[in-house]
Each structure stands twice: as C-alpha cells, then as structure tokens.
Amino acid sequence: MQERLQTLKEEALSQIEKASSMKEVQDIRVAYLGKKGPITEISKGMGKLSAEERPKMGQLVNEIRTAISDQLEAKVNGLEKAAVEERLKKETIDISLPGRPIKRGNHHPLTRVIEEIEDLFLGMGFSIAEGPEVETDYYNFEALNLPKDHPARDMQDSFYITEETLLRTHTSPMQARTMEKLNGEGPVKIIVPGKVYRRDTDDATHSHQFMQIEGLMVGENVRMSDLKGVLQSFAKKMFGDEREIRLRPSFFPFTEPSVEMDISCFICSGNGCSVCKGTGWIEILGGGMVHPNVLRMSGFDPEKVTGFAFGMGPERIAMLKYGIDDIRHFYTNDSRFIKQFNTL
Amino acid sequence: MLVSMNWLQQYVDLDSYSADELADLITKGGIEVETVEQLNKGISGVVIGHVLSCEQHPDADKLNICRVDIGEEEPVQIICGAANIAAGQYVAVAKVGAVLPGNFKIKKAKLRGEASHGMICSLQELGIESKLVHKEYADGIFVFSDDVTPGEDALHYLNLNDEILELGLTPNRADAMNMIGVAYEVGAVLNRSIELPSPELVRSEENAQDYVSVQIENEDDNPYYGATVIKNVTIASSPQWLINRLVSAGIRPINNVVDITNYVLLEYGQPLHAFDYDRFGSKEVVIRRAAEGEKIVTLDDTERTLSSDHLVITNGSKPVAVAGVMGGADSEVQQNTTTILLEAAYFDSKLVRKASKDLGLRSDSSARFEKGIDRNRVIGASERAAQLIQEIAGGTVLKGTAEQGDRTVEGKEVSIEVTRINQVLGTEISETEVAAIFERLQFSYQNFGGTFTVQVPPRRPDITISEDLIEEVGRLYGYDNVPATLPITESTPGQLSDYQKKRRRVRRALEGAGLYQTVTYSLTSPSKRVFFSNETTDAIRLAMPMSEERSELRTSLLPHLLEVAQYNKNRQLENLAFYETASVFLPEGELPKEQEHLAGVVSGLWQEHLWQKEKKPVDFFVVKGILEELAVEFGVEDRLTFARADEPKLHPGRTAAVHLDDELIGYIGQLHPEVEKELDLSETYVFEINLEALLKADVDHLKYKKLPRFPSVTRDVALVVNESLEAGQVKRVIEEAGGAKLVEINLFDVYQGEHLEEGKKSLAFSLRYYNPEQTLTEEEVKKAHDRVLTAVEEQFGAALRS
Ligand SMILES: [Zn+2]
C-alpha cells in the first residue's frame, strides 16, 4: 500500500509538472484528490489495517495529499503569472513615440524680467507703484527739477500731445505723485515699472517705446551706501553671485550726487570682450541721491529726510541677460522669439 | 569733446599714464571717456620727402615721374598721379615696405614701364577724415609748409602719433568742453598741478575806441561785449602745429585767423568771432533783439529770417551776426582782409539756445554758449587770440578794448558740513580729506569746525547747492570707497496690490490656456486706433508725430495684435494664440483716462497631436471658454454673460458682446471674413475686454461649501426645439423652473439632421437634483423635473425627443 501511495504521488507530481493549462491542473486535482480518486480509495481501505499501522498510514496519506495539493497550488500560481505576463507583453507600446504636448503659453520676455525684478524688490520691502503713461509736463519734468528751458530736457526728446501734456519719458513722475500723497511722511519705498516713450527712430538699439523701472526710497538717514547695498543685491540676484558692481559719477537733474552703475562683465568675467567693449564693465542703470528740490517740491523736508532713486531699462537687462541682439524683437512678437522664454 | 593727449600734456604732466589708464581714471572721476582713438591707424614707414624733380610720364598724361630725397643716400624714383605735385615740395612719402591704414602695404611697382619706389601720400591716405582736410589738399597730396628735413618721421609732424580721448559730457559738465577745463579736471583726478597759458601782448599806441564803439541795448541779454581791433593782418594758411590741434579736435582748418578763433574756442571754451573791420559797415557795434522778420545772410550763404526772440550783433543799421550762433556773410574774413574786429562776448544762454533751435543752426560756438561759458575767461580768451594773431598772422593789436558790461563776476559761496557729507554718502571721510579734495579742485575755502565754505569758481556753474559739493567730494574720494550697506530705516512689508496680484493671475490663466503674451506699441495710425464701433471718435493725437503710423494713442488693442498675427502668418507660423494686456487711452479732461484692456487672437489649430492624428481647429467656443475660465478665476462666473452682437469687423453670426452684470465690457467673435482676407489670415477668433472692470468687480471672499452628504439624482432630457432658439435661453428657463433642488445643468448634445423635422434641433441636457438636508425622494425629483418639462414646453413648444 505504501508503495502504491509513493507511485501515485510520483505519477501525480510528474503530471502536474507537465500540465500547461488550468484545465489540465483541474483534471489532475479531480483525478488524484477527487472523491473517486485513488487516494480517497486508499483512505477508505485503511479500515482493514491493523490498529498499529492505521495511524502511520493515515499520516502518509495526508502527507501525500498535502504534497500534491501544494504542487497544484504552485502550478496554478505559475500559470496565472504566465498568463498575466503574456497579456502585458501584448500590451507593450513604443515608448519612444512623442508625448502629448501640454498646451501652454508663456510670458513675454519683458514681463518675465520685470516680474523677476519686482519680486526681488518686493522681497526688500518695496511696493509697486504704477502711474499714467500720458503725463503733465509738471510731473514729467518740472517736479523732477527740470524746469522749462532746462538744457537737460534735450536728453529726453519727447512726444508732446498738448503744450502741457506728453507721453512720459520715464516712470520717474511717480516719484512726485507718490510723495505728494504722503504729505511729507515717510518712509517711501517703491519701484515703478511701466512703458515710456521717447522721440527715437526705431532701430536695433533704439525704440520709441520701451520699459523702465524706477526705484525710490526716501526716509530719515537714507544714504548713498544704502543705494550701493540695494543695487549690489539686485545685481547679484539678477546676474549671478559673482557679480561686482561699481558706481561712477554721472548727472541726472533729479539726483545729486548722481551715479551710473556698472556690473562686472558676466561674459568675460572682467577680462574684456565685445559685450563690455573691452572694459570688463557693463553699464546697467543710473541713480543717485534724490535732489533736494525734488523732495521739497513734493512736500518733503530735505533737512530731515534723504533718499535715493534709480532707473533701469528692462529691455537692456533682458538683452544682456539673454544675449538678444535687436531691441525690435520685443515689439515684433515673432512667436519663435517669445516661445523661447518658456523655460527657467 | 575730443581731447588730444599731446595737447593736454601741455597743461598737465601726464607722464607715466597711458591713454587707457587716464581714460579709466577720468571715467571714475565722473566724466565718461567713451572711446580712446589712436590716430596712427597702424601706419609705419612714412617719412618726409623732398621732391627734387618732377616730369611728366612719357606714356601717361596724368602721371609724373618724381625723384624724391627721402633722407637716404640716393634719391628714389616715385610715380605720382596727384595734380598738385611739383618739384621743390616737401611731401609725405610711404617708402617701400611702409604700411598705411587698413594694413595697406607699399611695394615696389611698375607704372606704364616706369619703376616706382614708394608712394607720395594725401592726408586721407594717412587716415585723416576728408572733412578735416584743408581745401587746398582735399584733392591731392599734402605739402608741408614748414622747414622740414627729408627722412624724418612724417607722422610726428602730422601729429599722427597722438591719441584722442572722446569725452561724453553730461549737460552739467560744460566746463569740460574746453582744454583748460579738462586740464582742471585731470589735475584734480590725478592730484597734479596744472599750467595754463598767460598771453602777453604788445599793443600799439592807437586806441581801439577810436575805431569802434560798443553799445548793448539790454545787458540781461548780453552782460558783456568786448571788441578788439587788430590791424595789418595777413590771411594765410596756419602753421602745422595749429592745424594739428584743430584736426585732433575734429575741426577743419580754414585760414590763420579763423583757425585761431577756433583754437581759442577749444582751449578756453570762449566762442570768438572775427569780423572784417573794413566790411563791417560802420564804426559802431550795437547789440539788440532782431526786429520781427529782419533778415541776415549767414556765413553758410543762407538767408535767415529772425524774430524778436533772437539777439543780433548789428553795425547800427543791420545785423552782421546772430549772437553766439553764426556770423554774417557780408563781414566774413576773406583772403584780402587786413583789419580784424575781434568779438569776445558773454551772451545769455537761453537766447542762444532759442536762436540755434529756431534757425536749425548748431555750431561749436552755440553749443558752448547754450550750456554756459566761464564769464571770467572772456578777456583772457580775447587776449590769447590777439596774441596768436599777432604771432601767426603778423597783426598789430590796438590799445584797449571797446566794451560794455562787467568783465568778471564773483564766484558763488556754498557751504557744507563734513558730518552732512558722511551722512549722505554713508562714509567716514575726515576733515583733512575733504580739505585735500577741495584743494585738488582748486576751490578756495574756509573751514570752521568742519563746516566748509567754498568759493566756487565761475568756471563751475554747475555747483550751486551743498549737495553739489557732496558730489564733488564723493566723486574724488571715489565711489569705490563708499561701503555697500543695507538701509536702516523702518522696515516696510513689500507686497503687490490686489489689482497687481489679479493681473498676474490673468497672465498665468491665459498662458495656462495656451496663449503667448505680446507687447505692442501704444502709438498707432488713425486707422488702427480703433477696432469696435462703439469707440470714441476723438483721437488723442501727438502734436508732432514722427510718422503717421505712430501718431495717435490707441483705444483698442486688437489692431496691433492682428498685426502680430499677420506677421507670424507671413512666416508660415499658422497656429497662433496671442494675448496682450495694456492700457488704452480715452479722452477725458487734461489727461486721458487710461484703461487696462485684455485682448487675444487665436487662429489655426487649437489642439494637435500629429501621430495620433488629432487636429482640433480653433472655434468660437475656444475663445468663449477662455473668458468663462477667467470669470471663474475671478469669481464672477454667474455675472458674466454673452449676447449676440453685430460688429462691422466681426462675423455677423459669430459675435457676442460680453457683459459683466449690466455693463458692456467687450466682445468676442470671429474676424469678419473680409477682414481676414484683407490681413491674409485664415479663420481667426478674437476677444477684447475692459480688464479693469473684470478685476475691480466686487466679489465675496472665497468660502468653503460643505461637501454633499446625500446622493444626488441625475435626469437626462432631450428637447426638440426650433433651430434658431439659443441653447442659453433654454438653459435659463430650465434653471428658473427647476427651483433650488436643481443644482447643475449640463448641455451634452446638440443634434440636427436625420430623424428630426426640418428646421428643428435637439438639445440634450443632463440635470442634477440635490437636497442638502436629506436624501431626495422620487416624489421631489419628479415634481421639479415636471416643472422643467412644462416650462420648456410652454415657452418654446419643446417636445421630448423619444
Ligand atoms: Zn566682457
């Protein structure tokens, strides 16, 4: 009987081994472990055995049952897994095919630069003031210490609408407009981005319309060294941590002293190249300490407060930063140009 | 201002500084050196030659065979084609092996069979601009007028080893528009002393006052006028040194007397004018305003019409010069002039500016008067010119000056405390350092306990207030030495205004939807100023536009946005999606009302995925969807409505007016096919709205709505209605009839065609019912739904589609 059981077991295991479908596995289960199967038969015939042999044989029968059913289980798992693998194989796709594009536009490069600068100054506690593009002669010139007939008005040949109104030549009029509202009570910390206009013929480096960002800080104890500090953090954030700045004396009617700010050339790191015209320095912006006449006219007492102001051109900054060669690109809006500004 | 290093060296010791080093120091000191130019543009091997003989070439009419002594053992033979070549001349010879500008190498040559060992040069061939070449040599070779030695370096004689600094002067630094002013500045920057000319004159016994009188009608217009008389003058070419100076400063040499006035203009910054005394027309100089319509023929042989805004020099009866701008042709110095009336005056800068602007005449003289000259240098300049005329043109200077007005003025006093300087600059400059800086500037001062009272010399009219002195100290102390600090004033929170935040959201929303931002011009042509029929007819027009194309301020953004579309389409970029936010300008009071608009243009394919063969062209609902999305973004989705509208430039069947509450805020639609054709665009959809109205709309703060706790019930219904009926109307009726429990209506199908009666269409809606209090009963849903069905039947005769 023992031998018969061993033979059955080997037969069963070998059949399971060979089975290749669920159906076969099921048939084997019925054939060997079913109610009419040989093992059940043997179990039934165990009554004939002696009391001594019966438990021994019973254990053997159970062992063989377990062995067969474990093997059946394993086979089922194996077959199921193979079936899944087969299906997944059929579902394979060509992952090299192009993905579905996500439709997305982007900022104009000038907006990109302006928002970057805005965020930088917001972080330093400045707020953003905006003003009219058509201005009075008073705010555009006179309140900025440029009385009528001032020779420096030639520096900014302008588009007049009437004798007293014109397209603003800079965003500086917001200096006076903002200060006037405060009745001499500081501090003032603003930047003023916006469109400005000058009588220039459009070419690769000139545009009759362009952007400007003016900055103004007025309060007790505002020093030129603060202007230098603020501009230094601006330059480093905008053009890289390795940038050095230098201030050069200059002239603007609305600041005294006046300066121009250069940054160390980021193309050649100061060794001299065509961008910096061999000097190692690139002119970025103008500024200075607010002229006492400007403070006085806007209701601030120059004996009590001081201030600094600066003005920069986003076009110039964008042109330098991205290596753009023609200012007209900003206003032509070729989509191949604008679409380039969609990445970090 | 062009500054010759060789000339400057006359006043300041520049030893040990190269032109580039000096340029850098001057720039850091506050006057920007824009360029440093080498006059020697790579020239070598050019020497002085003596033309020993000169004969015509046997085989060429226009060529001469010259034997030239170039300081070598034997003279060389050179073939020369210049018409003005002659034996006996001293000329510039480029020897064999010489290099001329543009890396032009001189080699041995044969010209019509005759050997040529070098080239006799014109000034242009040596790199001098044609406009600076004296007329005499303009079309030929240059001939030295002085005693020179063959074989010596010709460049030295022509000052071609000089270097020129070009100063970019800001309007406040007119004091550096002359060599003496530059010498003061460079002296201060280098901390070196300077040496200025001190003219010494031998005057004759005759009195100038016997020859001429001066009368100024109004000393406000002309605070000082002086006339010097110089007799026995011989007009001729200037000596080479004088020519070299003028050429280095960019002025063309003419004759000795004119060249001297120009030289002194450059040296002192004082414009002078030399009249031919014998052709002056009288013995009196009267300075007055011109009469309205009075005429003068100026030196450039142009008749000018004057007005009472212009100051003129007259001979008592008629104008002989426009003060400070240009002399008259009648009294011009000519070849046969022997007696000179030399004017040295101080005119009001505004009058000179006005005349120069009105007459369109800008001269070296007017440029200086306009910006203000040094009043105290008028006499010195006049004497310097008289001395040079005496030396060079052999003149006899008469005793005295016919004059009116004060010769000099007092300098202004300005005070500044050292503590204030440091407070403004954020520095710690000592009293001693401040004193040293004023000394470098040659400003005299008194110092009482740290308060400096400075006597500002009249050559620096830009210094009038204490801040100007802070700048002087700061710039010479060096801004490199100013520390970089952070402001110590009270801190302020930096943040965007609500409007600015919303504007940024608009940009992100539109770009998220696939539109690219553009920036276009505000100025436009009258025809592109407007787009919609309701726009104002009053244009805001520039007083003096540069062109008609940029003459008016726009009241609509679309025309320029369509230009952008057209530009891209012309470059085979077919799928377009652009937007712009910008102000339009509406007439109102003194200043226009500036209203921020948002406009967009889309054309071509909206969605495209090539290999999956997906191509979705743009249609009306793309632009409508964009606006609806914006409305959601800004919390006004229930208040933004669209109504069918007619606009001449838009498609009559595909246009809607956009309303926010009851206010018309813009339009959306397809471009009228005729406009599309005109612009060569394919089917194109546009929108433009008043962005301010949208962003300034009062909305409730965002508030959380409870999540549904009970199931909702959805019923679909397909209604057959007349094809002209708008789905929106049906939706509104359903909404009203459905009551509070009808919470969502979605149109999911629009069908027309087979199985439907002609002229009818089917609209299928999905209606969702919900009760926030408890689970809906079948009864409740039925009641509400029946109301809907009754309402649409009554209002539109809508039948349920089976
Ligand atoms: Zn560089």
Q: Is there a contact between A258 and B606 if contact means CB atoms under 8 Å apart? A: no
CB within 8 Å: A105 and B424? no
Going from the Cα of A262 to the center of ligand 1, the distance in angstroms, rounded, reads 12
**Tell me, what amino acid is at A45?**
G
The Cα B329–Cα B301 span in angstroms is 6
- CA-nearest of B499, B523, B4 to B242 is B4
Q: Write the residue in A124, A251, A289 that is nearest to B424 by C-beta.
A: A289
Which residue in B229, B343, B370 sits closest to B286, CA to CA?
A: B343
Same domain, A78 and A130: no
Q: What is the mean pLDDT of residues A301-319?
A: 95
Nearest CA-CA partner of B266 in B279, B281, B280, B247: B247
- Selected from 2.40.30.10, 3.30.420.10, 2.40.50.140, 3.90.650.10, the CATH number assigned to the domain covering B44-157 reads 2.40.50.140
**Out of A98, A133, A159, closest to residue B594 by CB:** A133
Q: Does A136 touch chain B (CB under 8 A)?
A: yes
User: Which CATH number covers residue A250?
Assistant: 3.30.930.10
Query: Residues of chain B with pLDDT > 90: what percent?
Result: 76
Question: In one letter, which amino acid is B308?
Answer: S
Same domain, A269 and A235: yes
Residue B574: pLDDT above 80?
Answer: yes
Q: What are phi and psi of B17, to 5 degrees?
A: -110, 125
Task: Give me the torsion for CA of B448, B450, B455, B456, rounded to 10°.
Answer: -170
E-strand stretches of B691-734: 713-722
Name the average pLDDT for chain A.
91
Top CATH class of B498-695 equals alpha beta
Contact indicator for A284, A262 with CB cutoff of 8 Å: yes
Number of Cβ within 10 Å of residue B439's Cβ equals: 13
- pLDDT digit string (tens) for B451-483? 999 999 999 999 999 999 999 999 999 999 999
ipTM over 0.90: no
Q: Where in chain B is the domain with CATH 3.30.930.10?
A: 498-695
Extended strands (E) in B81-169: 90-100, 104-105, 109-111, 114-116, 119-120, 163-168
Q: What is the pLDDT of residue A46?
A: 77
A183/B contact by beta carbon, under 8 A: no
Q: How many domains are there within chain A?
A: 2
Helix orientation angle between A22-33 and A2-18, rounded to the nearest 10 degrees: 170
What's the number of CA atoms in the CB half-sphere (13 Å) around residue B193?
A: 1
The answer on A61 and A150 residing in a single domain is no
A212-221, A240-249, B80-89: least confidently modelled range: B80-89
Distance from CA of A197 to the nearest CA of B (A): 9
Residues in chain B closer than 8 A to A174 (CB atoms): none
A50 and A165 in a single domain? The answer is no
Residue A95 lies in a domain: no
Rg over CA atoms, chain A: 43
B522:A124 CB<8 A: no
Q: Are A245 and A237 contacting, i.e. CB atoms less than 8 angstroms apart?
A: no
A58 lies in the same domain as A147: no
Each residue of A31-45: pLDDT tens digit? 888 888 888 888 777
Q: What is the Cα–Cα distance from A264 to A277, expressed in whole angstroms?
A: 12
pLDDT at A149: 74
A contacts of B353 (beta carbons < 8 Å): 149, 151
**CB atoms B516 and A292 under 8 Å:** no
Instruction: Locate B667 and state its tokens.
Output: 């339009």
Q: Does A256 belong to an annotated binding site?
A: yes
The pLDDT of residue B202 is 87
Tell me the pLDDT band of B282, cut-offs 50, 70 and 90.
very high
**Contacts for B773 with CB less than 8 Å, ≥ 6 apart:** none
Q: In the prediction, which pLDDT does A154 show?
A: 60
Burial class (CB in 10 A: 0-12, 13-18, 19+), B696: middle
Q: Is A161 left (phi over 0), alpha (psi -120 to 50) or beta?
A: alpha
B550 neighbourhood in chain A, CB within 8 Å: 208
CA distance A235 to chain B (A): 13
Give the residue-averaged pLDDT of A117-130: 95
For B546, the closest chain A residue by CA position comes to A199
Q: At A152, is the pLDDT very low, low, confident or very high (cuts 50, 70, 90)?
A: low
- Does the pLDDT at position A259 exceed 90? yes
Strands B576-586 and B516-517 turn out to be parallel
**Same-domain pairing of A14 and A144:** no
The strand ranges marked E within chain A are 127-128, 134-136, 165-167, 188-197, 209-219, 245-252, 255-264, 281-290, 306-312
Query: Using the beta-carbon criterion (under 8 Å), do A208 and B370 form an inter-chain contact?
Result: no
Read off the pLDDT of residues B227-281 as tens digits, 9 standing for 90 and up.
Answer: 999 999 999 999 999 999 999 999 999 999 999 999 999 999 999 999 999 999 9
Pairs of residues, one from chain A and one from chain B, whose beta carbons lie less than 8 Å apart: 250
Q: What is the pLDDT of residue B537?
A: 78
Mean of pLDDT over chain B: 93
Q: A127 vs B489, which has greater pLDDT? A: A127
Same domain, A86 and A121: no
Do A249 and B517 make contact, defined as CB atoms within 8 angstroms? no
User: Do A266 and A121 belong together in one domain?
Assistant: yes
Could you tell me the distance, in angstroms and rounded to a whole number, from the CA of residue A282 to the centre of ligand 1? 8
Which candidate in A103, A234, A245, A331 is best for mutational testing of the B interface (most B CBs within 10 A)?
A: A103
pLDDT score for B802: 66
A99 touches chain B (CB under 8 A): no
In whole angstroms, what is the distance from residue A319 CA to residue A331 CA?
13
Q: How far is the CA of A264 from the centre of ligand 1 (A)?
A: 8
At residue A64, the pLDDT reads 86
Question: Given a cut of 80, is residue B338 above it in pLDDT?
Answer: yes
Q: Give the minimum alpha-carbon distance from A80 to chain B in angstroms, rounded to a whole number.
A: 34
Q: Are residues A272 and A157 in the same domain?
A: yes
Evaluate whether B742 touches B754 at the Cβ level (below 8 Å): no
Answer yes or no: is A123 within a domain.
yes
- Contact of A40 with chain B, judged by CB distance below 8 Å, is answered with no
The DSSP result for B360-407, as a single string, is T---HHHHHHHH---GGGHHHHHHHHHHHHHHHH--EEEES-EEEE-S
Domain check: are A298 and A171 in the same one?
A: yes
**Would you say B793 is a known binding-site residue?**
no
B2-39+163-190 classified as CATH 3.30.56.10: yes
Which residue range forms the structural domain that includes residue A33? 2-90
Cβ contact, residue pair A151, B492, below 8 Å: no
Q: How confident is the model over B47-96, as pLDDT tens digits?
A: 999 999 888 888 888 888 999 999 888 899 898 888 888 888 999 999 98
Query: What type of residue is B240?
Result: Q
Q: What percent of chain A has pLDDT over 90?
A: 64
Question: Minimal Cα distance from B490: which residue of A?
Answer: A187
Nearest chain B residue to A191 by CA: give it.
Answer: B494
Per-residue model confidence (pLDDT) at position B59: 84
Determine the topology of domain B203-405 in CATH: Phenylalanyl-tRNA Synthetase; Chain B, domain 3 (3.50.40)
Question: Does the residue A101 lie in any domain?
Answer: no
Determine contact, residues B277/B340, Cβ cutoff 8 Å: yes
Same-domain pairing of A217 and A73: no
A228–B483 C-beta distance less than 8 A: yes
pLDDT at B768: 95
List, by residue range, all CATH 3.30.56.10 domains of chain B. 2-39+163-190, 412-478
Which residue from B510, B722, B516 is spatially nearest to B626, judged by alpha carbons? B510
DSSP label of A101: P
Cα A277 to ligand 1 centre (Å):
7
**Chain A: nearest CA to B189, how far in angstroms?**
13
**Residue A92 neighbours by CB under 8 Å, 6+ apart:** none
Choose the closest CB to A223 out of B485, B494, B546.
B485
Burial profile A249-287: b = 16 or more Cβ within 10 angstroms, e = fewer: bbbbbbbbbbbbbbbbbbeeeeeeeeebeebbbbbbbbb
- Indicate whether B288 pLDDT > 80: yes
For chain B, the C-alpha Rg in angstroms (whole number) is 42
| CATH number for domain B713-800, candidates 3.30.230.10, 3.40.50.720, 3.30.70.380, 3.60.21.10 | 3.30.70.380
- The residue type found at A230 is V
Ligand 1 center to residue A326 CA distance, Å?
A: 19
A 284-343 near B (Cβ less than 8 A): 289, 291-292, 306, 330-336, 338-339
Scan residues 200-219 of A and list those with Cβ closer than 8 Å to B. Answer: 201, 208-209, 217, 219
pLDDT digits (tens, 9 = 90+) for B686-739: 999 999 999 999 988 888 988 989 999 999 999 999 999 999 999 999 999 999
Is A123 found in the same domain as A152?
Answer: yes
The minimum CA-CA distance between A199 and chain B, rounded to whole Å, is 8
- Among A148, A161, A230, A264, which would you mutate to test the B interface (most chain B Cβ atoms within 10 Å of its Cβ)? A161
Domain B412-478 has CATH 3.30.56.10: yes
Residue B757, annotated ligand binder?
no
Range(s) within chain B of domains with CATH label 3.50.40.10: 203-405
CA of A198 to the centre of ligand 1 (A): 29
Nearest CA in chain A to B469: A257
